[in-house]
Structure 1
Amino acid sequence: MSKPKLNKRSLLASSLGLALFATGAALYLPGQPELKSFIVQGGDLAAAKAAVRSVGGEITHQLGIINSVGARISLAQAEALKDFEGLRVYADHSAKSSAIEYYDYDVNDGTIPDAHYIQQIGADVLHQEGIDGRGVTVAVLDTGFWRYSPVFDYNLNGQYRIKGTYDSTVPDGWYNEITYETNGHGTHVSGIIASNVRSSYSGDAHGVAPNVDLVEVKAFDANGQGSYTDIIKGLDWIVSHKDQYDIDVLNLSFSAPPHSHYWDDPVNQAVMAAWKAGIVVVASAGNTGPDPMTIGVPGNTPYVITVGATTDNSTLNDPSDDRLTTFSSAGPTHEGFVKPDLVAPGGHIMATTPHWYNLATDHQDARFAAEHNLFVMSGTSQSAAVVSGIVALIKQVDPNLKPDDVKCRLMSSSKPAVGSDGKLAYSVFQQGAGLVDAYKAVHSSAKGCANRGLDVKKDLDGTQHFGGPANQNEDGDYYVMGLDGYLWSDGYLWSDGYLWSDGYLWSDGYLWSDGYLWSDGYLWSDGYLWSDGSTETAAINQWVGQE
């Protein structure tokens, strides 16, 4: 198997300019230039607005979080904006949710099964200790959620817990309870994080953090597709309302292909702004693995907690055959960062999704216990939701913990898969620090071990950007500088299970410099149009087969 090339090059830091991003076509009339959607970024929001208006463009979104506007303009107008000093122009791409195929659960006897991931990560023991997410607020940016459902509207104690809702796909952001959620992905993800449904057998709640408060933001349509402008608009609203709603955690279960360095991507810029504001951001790795360098946006952002997926092979009580899923995206990123940061259960995950939602009608074999609206999905969307729930448990115990230290506790307590010889069963670029352990992470006291050598403020203001410790040798194998013996070769072994042992952390990030020229692949210049205006959207992660 040929390996993608990594490229590290020098970059002169410059002040934030103006950028354009283009998605689909607007209304086209014969004899008139076709209009397309772009993102225009300037030194400030006023400059971006003035530039678009000066060429006769229409402003569709105000994206103050990244000093940008969404605009409908022609390609000629986009070219004209490139001549403005300090302006940058990008195509308004789109993203997908990270969901996979269904799994046939034949349970129709009126009972509610256990959600096996709760026991697998140790959350059931934490719940018994009173650590259940109370006092913590999780924001979910997705397709919406099942509004006016007792599963979400109330916590385990019967207290109302929906702090806020917002729809970034409509001009005024007004939440419409009738059309707010029709896909089901956002509901499924929210259920993994927060469901108050209890098993008929163990009595354990289905939600990792069943007493959290929720803020739900819709940025994706009924098909799980969303534009960059709508995603950034939703992120802007979340950061702007962080203090009003006490938002602690943000779950991002979607993915888009990288089109630039992480710091030049407008969604990543908004995500970094959320991290800088003190929100712990959890992102899915994506479902385009197992090949290397398949981590999507925003999971390729070095600061955030990027999560890959594992499966128990449908043997709930036998951890010996647990393994990485074949679809879980792998690193390193194009800038050399080790991703995912860790892995979590993401195979055949059961959670609430009404059977009239699109995913449930399209995949009826994944529906079961009809009276309880349970549904099974696989994907890194689900594994990210598991980790978002764990973050809520950590924040309940230590509410003043900074995002970097939450990430430190998660990674330092994770367990990498090892073979019988004690060597890693999977590369660090596939499993990161290893399988998450909620109990150990919550009771950890670790600090200062994540995102060392990085500076999100300098990244955002453009004065410094960073590369990771990954490299590629002359044979094309990937390795982590400072760690001996961890080459990633062509072999993918998916059939066997592995032990998950104590973890380790790798070396620090370093400044992006001339010292690491890896290849001539993936050369992204500083001033560019992301596309010629063709439609390319972000979306909830693609549907994959159950594992």
Structure 2
Amino acid sequence: MCTHRHFSRLLVVAALVLAGAIPASAGPQHRAKLDLELKRAAASAGGTRTVIIRTAPGTRAAVREWLAARGYRLTADHPLIDALTAEVPAADLEALAEEPSLASLSSDAVIRPAGLAAAADTSSPRLRDSFLRSTLGLVPTAPAGSGVGVALIDSGLRPAPDFANRIAAFYDLTGGGVRRVAPFDDYGHGTHVAGLIGGSGAGSGGEYQGVAPGVRFLVFKVLDGSGQGRTSDVVRAIEFVVENRRQLGVDVINLSLGHPVFEPAATDPLVQAIEAATRAGLIVVAAAGNFGTNPETGVTGYAGITSPGNAPSAITVGALLAKGTVTRQDDGVAPFSSRGPSWFDAYAKPDVLAPGDRLVSVAAPGTALYEQWPSQQVNGTSGGAYLRLSGTSMATGVATGVVAAAIEANRRATNTRSGPSGRLSANALKAILQYTAFPVRDAEGVEYDRLTQGGGGINGAGAVTMAAAVNPTVPLGTPWISPQPDPVTVIAGEPLPWAQNIVWGVWLVPGSVLETNHECWGNNIVWGVADGQNIVWGVADTALSGTNIVWGVNIVWGVNIVWGVNQPPPEATNIVWGVADNIVWGVADNIVWGVNAGAGVGGR
């Protein structure tokens, strides 16, 4: 059975102290309650900051009254994560951090879409029309996500023939509160992502069909007409989805947006909202971010994963280059796609890669995004307006479509609709995507490391096949895969073996753990590597030897460590640029890397 394993971070801290990296006394303990941005704000002691304040259990109501009595303006209440959003003078931040009833204080960070990188890139050929389902191995009769509800948290969704009768609900959160209104999109990003998830292709004669054209959309507008939003609004949207998931019929949440990581996952409000959504039985698919290379030098960077892609339970998606072909043999990793590990926690991310380069999808003419890229505008043969964009936003939409198709396949096979015993959990779906993925290699045929490709390139046909074979209703401890699928998918006439591995936390785990229904595949298990959170799949320590893909086997704590890099560019927070063997570690505000750190990470 799956067992909990305690990974003590004291060992890491001890190693850093021995190396002389941090002093034995790390300063006032209360400052640890402030995220990186608020520490900087407290040091400046000027102006007012909007802050998400997480409270100690059972104290939220009292803290709300206390904050109001002090004259702070409260703008949101977040019961899902025991938090409040308030406007706070920067000069008061350190004093607030000393309050025992306040668990952590996080900046209400600006949220941006993860779909603008390389939008006008012409270095790779244009992808041929109607290629998405083909390159994913999905034949015309394959599941299309029918009956699956996707919560799109983005800039909105403009009605178009591609979405006819499938926008089930639309809520606007950009003006405060949650208001049900008629669908619209004044920026265009959400419409493009929705088209990749499940556009029918009606405006293009079927040429630009999305992955799962049978899904229903529940849309939550959190980005304004300039493509910006606030973390608190995204948290509020997730809370609304969780609270109303049954009435709305939501199965999957798509988050093609994010912000730089400013704190550990355990205190990040957006991450904690995702973990709560996962515990409620929802599947969350999130973008890895577009910080894979230094924009000035082109040098590859590690630790560029953005929040909420650092959420342990999210299916975090990086981007593939499809290179204009349906075949998967020539796929590569998009240079802009963020690599792991996650900052502060050193989780191995991304989880999978999906096509995300120069994808054509539904456009919203007249919006800032559409007008920004006139060279990427595409006219559909049936009068529809389309746009060609790149980014992990697009890859996330593709992955969400695959998840929706897999959910439909499982429901078909098990004759179930929903409920704790009748649906695949987020954990099971993540494992299925990784187990059936294809290893991705560079131009020299060398396989990319796991911090670049995660489990590998997503395999739509394989995921659907495996999902149809898994029966989540069987008793724990019994085999749940029948019939056992052939671990090979044929795409464009080429047989492609599945990776048959699972990457979670810091471990590369044998795919054999997927053969039996364990408690770890339930809806209430949340994955991570923090104390008491990581589950190690029932595999003996000896079987895991050499498979810790983050810490490796030859970490160097001596002369090859560089410390104290704590003023990164605001849009590339905590990313270290260097050769692929330089694995990056985050402890507090410091960056650590060693030239031999990649020894435990196979490949490129």
Length-normalised TM-score, structure 2: 0.67
Q: Is the 8 A contact 1:19 1:41 kept in 2?
A: no
Report the equivalent of 1:59: 74
**Pairwise mapping of residues 12-411 of structure 1 onto structure 2 (< 5 A)?**
34-42=47-55, 43-44=57-58, 45-87=60-102, 88-99=104-115, 100-103=117-120, 114-123=129-138, 125=139, 127-129=140-142, 131-147=143-159, 149-152=160-163, 154=164, 160-177=165-182, 180-198=184-202, 203=206, 206-289=209-292, 290-313=300-323, 315-317=324-326, 319-334=328-343, 335-369=345-379, 371-399=383-411, 400-411=423-434
1:53 CA drift (Å):
1.5
RMSD between aligned residues: 3.6
Residues 132 and 354 of structure 1: CA distance in aligned 2, closer, same or farther (over 3 Å) = same
Partner amino acid for 1:324?
V
Residues 404 and 318 of structure 1: CA distance in aligned 2, closer, same or farther (over 3 Å) = closer
Partner amino acid for 1:439?
A
1:386-429 deviation line (CA, Å, top 9, x unaligned): 000010011112241111111111110000124799x7421111
**Pairwise mapping of residues 404-443 of structure 1 onto structure 2 (< 5 A)?**
404-418=427-441, 424-443=446-465
Structure-2 separation of matches of 1:441 and 1:463:
31
1:113 CA drift (Å):
7.2
Structure-2 separation of matches of 1:520 and 1:377:
32
Structure-2 separation of matches of 1:204 and 1:264:
44
Structure-1 separation of matches of 2:585 and 2:251:
41
1:86 CA drift (Å):
2.5
Q: Is the 8 A contact 1:275 1:303 kept in 2?
A: yes
1:38 CA drift (Å):
1.0
1:467-515 deviation line (CA, Å, top 9, x unaligned): 975115345999xxxxxxxxxx96569xxxxxxxxxxxxxxxxxxxxxx
1:504-530 deviation line (CA, Å, top 9, x unaligned): xxxxxxxxxxxxxx99953269xxxxx
Residues 104 and 333 of structure 1: CA distance in aligned 2, closer, same or farther (over 3 Å) = closer
1:369 CA drift (Å):
0.7
Q: Is the 8 A contact 2:170 2:182 kept in 1?
A: no
1:421-479 deviation line (CA, Å, top 9, x unaligned): 9x74211111111111101111114679675898976889x97355975115345999x
Partner amino acid for 2:167?
I
Tell me, what secondary structure is at the counterpart of 1:128? Answer: coil
Q: Is the 8 A contact 2:153 2:220 kept in 1?
A: yes
1:120-179 deviation line (CA, Å, top 9, x unaligned): 1123x1x414x11111101111111103x3322x2xxxxx3222221222223224448x
Structure-2 separation of matches of 1:519 and 1:144:
36
Residues 23 and 215 of structure 1: CA distance in aligned 2, closer, same or farther (over 3 Å) = farther
Residues 257 and 272 of structure 1: CA distance in aligned 2, closer, same or farther (over 3 Å) = same
Q: Which runs of 5+ in 2 are unaligned?
A: 1-10, 15-31, 39-45, 293-299, 412-422, 471-479, 482-501, 508-519, 536-547, 562-576, 591-604
1:22 CA drift (Å):
10
Structure-2 separation of matches of 1:261 and 1:22:
10
1:77 CA drift (Å):
4.0
Tell me, what secondary structure is at the counterpart of 2:171? Answer: strand
Tell me, what secondary structure is at the counterpart of 2:179? Answer: coil
Q: Is the 8 A contact 1:114 1:206 kept in 2?
A: no
Report the equivalent of 1:535: none
Tell me, what secondary structure is at the counterpart of 1:71? Answer: strand
Residues 457 and 442 of structure 1: CA distance in aligned 2, closer, same or farther (over 3 Å) = closer
Residues 90 and 410 of structure 1: CA distance in aligned 2, closer, same or farther (over 3 Å) = same
Q: How many residues are treated as equivalent by the alignment? A: 450
1:354-381 deviation line (CA, Å, top 9, x unaligned): 2211111111111021631010000000
**Pairwise mapping of residues 481-500 of structure 1 onto structure 2 (< 5 A)?**
491=579
1:71 CA drift (Å):
0.7
Residues 317 and 79 of structure 1: CA distance in aligned 2, closer, same or farther (over 3 Å) = closer
Q: Which runs of 5+ in 1 are unaligned?
A: 1-6, 11-17, 25-32, 106-111, 155-159, 479-488, 494-517, 526-547
Larger RCO of the pair (alpha carbons < 8 Å, separation 6+): 1
Partner amino acid for 2:174?
T
Q: Is the 8 A contact 1:141 1:234 kept in 2?
A: yes
Residues 438 and 519 of structure 1: CA distance in aligned 2, closer, same or farther (over 3 Å) = closer
Moved more, 185-194 or 79-88: 79-88
Tell me, what secondary structure is at the counterpart of 1:393? Answer: helix
Structure-1 separation of matches of 2:225 and 2:291:
22
